[in-house]
């Protein structure tokens, strides 16, 4: 099931007003010994979410949640959009961080900027990295202080609507395809086969010597 069926998604917004949230904060390293792609929702933001430390042998249902951490607020149960500060997902290239976000239920992260590798991993694993200007993100944080926000995101129109505001964002065609279709990176590339073939034809017309066989060598 794609993250954005028909390219659209609506859901509650969780405000996490922190800058430079790195991938170790999103998914702590002690859980990274597993190569499974699912089952990490219980340890998302682990060190902020719980009052006691955890490891691979922990029963997370028995750990003490921090009542001051936003993810433990019952108003945000089932939320699908995370609102964050600048440079979200910086640090290592830990793909588990995106898996944990998706496993918890998030399908989009809205921020003024992202770590480059996190941005690529997001679209590839069904979590849309929605970049908005810092002023727009600050407006959303302000609105979220007064009420629990619901955001409606349209990937094809490139719009996010929440609290009576509409904000524009840009995603590349491959990112939109990965998020709105049940496909992977290879499938997204194959979907461009006509454009690839046209490019190859133009290239050979301009540089026909590229099609000549290499001379035989002894």
Could you tell me if residue 216 is inside a domain? no
Mean pLDDT calculated for residue range 143-156: 95
Query: Mean pLDDT over all residues of the chain?
Result: 90
**Range of the structural domain that residue 142 is part of:** 5-183
Total domains in the chain come to 1
Could you tell me if residue 189 is inside a domain? no
DSSP 107-152: -EEEES-B-HHHHHHHHHTT-EEEE--HHHHHHHHHHHHHS--EEE
Could you tell me if residue 57 is inside a domain? yes
Could you tell me if residue 172 is inside a domain? yes
pLDDT tens sequence across 65-93:
999 999 999 999 999 999 999 999 998 88
pLDDT score recorded for residue 185: 63
d(CA 137, CA 16): 11
d(CA 81, CA 13): 5
pLDDT tens sequence across 6-65:
899 999 999 999 999 999 999 998 888 777 777 899 999 999 999 999 888 889 889 999
Could you tell me if residue 127 is inside a domain? yes
Could you tell me if residue 217 is inside a domain? no
pLDDT score recorded for residue 36: 72
Confidence of residue 195 (pLDDT cuts 50, 70, 90): confident
Could you tell me if residue 188 is inside a domain? no
CB atoms near residue 33 (< 10 Å) = 8
Confidence of residue 194 (pLDDT cuts 50, 70, 90): confident
DSSP classification of residue 88: B
Which CATH number characterizes residue 29's domain?
Answer: 3.20.19.10
- Strands 108-111 and 81-84: what pairing? parallel
HSE-up (13 A, CA, CB side) for residue 63: 20
Could you tell me if residue 203 is inside a domain? no
pLDDT tens sequence across 98-138:
999 999 999 999 999 999 999 999 998 999 999 999 999 99
């Amino acid at each position: 099931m794609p993250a954005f069926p028909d390219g659209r998604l609506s859901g509650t917004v969780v405000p996490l007003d922190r800058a430079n949230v790195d991938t170790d904060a999103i998914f702590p390293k002690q859980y990274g010994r597993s190569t499974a792609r699912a089952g990490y929702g219980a340890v998302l933001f682990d060190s902020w979410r719980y009052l006691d430390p955890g490891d691979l042998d922990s029963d997370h249902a028995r750990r003490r949640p921090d009542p001051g951490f936003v993810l433990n607020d019952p108003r945000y149960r089932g939320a699908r959009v995370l609102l964050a500060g600048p440079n979200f997902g910086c640090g290592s290239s830990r793909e588990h961080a995106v898996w944990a976000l998706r496993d918890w239920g998030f399908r989009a992260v809205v921020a003024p900027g992202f770590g480059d590798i996190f941005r690529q991993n997001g679209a590839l694993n069904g979590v849309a990295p929605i970049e908005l200007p810092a002023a727009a993100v600050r407006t959303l944080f302000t609105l979220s202080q007064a009420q629990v926000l619901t955001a409606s995101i349209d990937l094809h129109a490139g719009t996010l609507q929440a609290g009576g505001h509409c904000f524009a964002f840009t995603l590349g065609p491959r990112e939109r395809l990965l998020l709105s279709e049940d496909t992977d990176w290879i499938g997204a590339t194959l979907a461009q086969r006509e454009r690839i073939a046209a490019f190859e034809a133009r290239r050979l017309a301009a540089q026909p010597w590229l099609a000549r066989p290499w001379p035989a060598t002894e």
